[in-house]
Structure 1
Amino acid sequence: MKKILLSLIILLTFSQGYSQTSIFNDLLQKHVTKDGIVDYKSFKNDEAKLDSYISYLEKTSPEKSWSENKQKAFWINAYNAYTIKIILGNYPLKSIMDIKEGGKTAWKIPFAKVGNKTYTLDHIEHQILRKDFSDPKIHVGVNCASGSCPKLGNNAFTEQNVEAELMRLMKDFVNDTSRNKITKKKVQISSIFDWFKGDFTKKGSVIDFLNTYSETKISPKAKISFLKYDWTLNGK
């Protein structure tokens, strides 16, 4: 009997998580284009549905028994949902950089509640996602709501799709000429590759990493420079 009850609890928990992630997925599908442009004005009309997903995040603590992919997907979704939430809470605005509270930027405001704990966006990104998973593709998963940021995917991440989605988003990002300009002998690349160089060079050089995804083969001796970052809101 105990085993049956435990199985039912696990099934119910899984079903709830899947259902809530589906809500977030539907919102992204409705309000985010395939190019990552967010219609925040229309998203605002669906804020109650976003709040429903956030309510799930507030009550849910990722378990150690979860697979690495499930934990990774959960935390990336949480980061993106809370980023959208703080934008909607301050909309209309020209840039996420305009958000200030008590002298703190959007990334340093403790407002993101997960499993009855309160986090900053910085903590989720740097102390959980980057630290615990050591995956440079995290940088195309989390979204900073800005023009130079890797595009926001219009699918929620799941245990099943997270690796394939991150691979797809990284390939799209590297080959996006509005965010990276790549030729064989010269690359002008996103400042993300400068700010988080250590994440991209654990298995070789930055060029080695780029060549994993680039449609243009880059020479190991190619000249590298970094593009100015556009912090304009990634909205219509």
Structure 2
Amino acid sequence: MRINLLALSLVLLFSCCKVKEAPLGKQTATTTDFNELSETFLSNIKNGTDTKSIQEKLANTSLEELENALTTDAQRYAFWVNIYNAYIQVILQEHPEYYDDRRDFFSREQIDIAGETVSFAKIEHGIIRKSQWELGLGYFRKWFPDKFERKLRVKKRDYRIHFALNCGAKDCPPVAIYTPKRIDGQLNKGSEMYLKRTSDYNSETKVASVTSLFSWFRGDFGGKSGAKKILEEYDVIPDTKGVDLKYKNYNWTLDLNNFIDL
């Protein structure tokens, strides 16, 4: 009888201990707001504050943690545009000579994030443009994107990101800090400002001189007809009838610290 009572007591004690362990584990677990982290990343760059701890956090997080944190396209777009723009500033401020060979610069794997080392091209074309082939003009997707890309890419392409990504050049859009709640309005405002700044329309010849982005990523914009509709939407041209497009040369002069509030 004493043996049975002792055994019962041990079972109850063990059960109590197991019940108490679960809440303790939950209390010590932490969840990172990666959108907020990306916003702080850019804010620190803008204010001249050190960003090494943020870069370490991004490098040491797991693919699963990042995927679970970015569940909507609004979150994905805001995070990845901020990350792209932040690392352009960080890397080129330290190594402006990298811009001498831009093809190598954008394709080089040099950004540590979620256990991988990725390139600017992978972030832009693989994640933000949903696995588009870099040389496909926006008409051809990659055949076999890897797991990192598949897990983290957006669900739907949005042409407005071309007026938000800052590649470090003078003709690039300025750097804004994007948030998931406001990103739709921010992208609209940023697109309007960029297109009005970079476009010229001759009402007599009906020729609109526009950024080369419309040519390089024509499929993203819906071709020439889509580009003209976009220009009409943002009041760059009065209508699309009879309008011809002329693509301007892109000014690749290095121009950092070009921030704007949207």
TM-score bracket for the superposition, by shorter chain length? 0.7 to 0.9
Q: 1:86 aligns with which of 85, 88, 91?
A: 91
Query: For the aligned residues, what is the CA RMSD?
Result: 2.8
Contact 2:42 / 2:86 at 8 angstroms: preserved in 1?
no
Identify the residue that residue 51 of structure 2 maps to in structure 1: 50
Q: Specify the SS of the correspondent of 1:175.
A: helix
How far has the Cα of 1:232 moved from its partner? 0.3
Q: Specify the SS of the correspondent of 2:209.
A: strand
Q: 1:72 aligns with which of 52, 73, 77?
A: 77
The 3 A distance-change label for structure 1 pair 225 and 202 is closer
Identify the residue that residue 67 of structure 2 maps to in structure 1: 63
Is 2:140 the counterpart of 1:123?
Answer: no
Structure 1 residue ranges, 4+ long, deviating more than 3 angstroms after superposition? 1-9
| Long gaps (5+) in structure 2 | 1-19, 131-153, 258-262
TM-score in terms of structure 2 length: 0.69
Distance 1:203 1:187 in 2: 12
Is 2:99 the counterpart of 1:97?
Answer: yes
Distance 1:167 1:67 in 2: 19
Rg larger in structure? 2
Contact 2:45 / 2:86 at 8 angstroms: preserved in 1?
no
| Long gaps (5+) in structure 1 | 31-42
Identify the residue that residue 170 of structure 2 maps to in structure 1: 147
Is 2:195 the counterpart of 1:193?
Answer: no
Number of residue equivalences: 207
How far has the Cα of 1:205 moved from its partner? 2.1
Contact 1:208 / 1:220 at 8 angstroms: preserved in 2?
no
Is 2:157 the counterpart of 1:158?
Answer: no
How far has the Cα of 1:140 moved from its partner? 1.7
Distance 1:22 1:76 in 2: 10
TM-score in terms of structure 1 length: 0.76
The 3 A distance-change label for structure 1 pair 224 and 203 is closer
The 3 A distance-change label for structure 1 pair 23 and 196 is same
Distance 1:223 1:105 in 2: 34
Contact 2:77 / 2:128 at 8 angstroms: preserved in 1?
yes
Distance 1:57 1:14 in 2: 10
Distance 1:7 1:142 in 2: 38
Contact 1:90 / 1:99 at 8 angstroms: preserved in 2?
no
Higher RCO structure (Cα 8 Å, ≥6 apart): 1
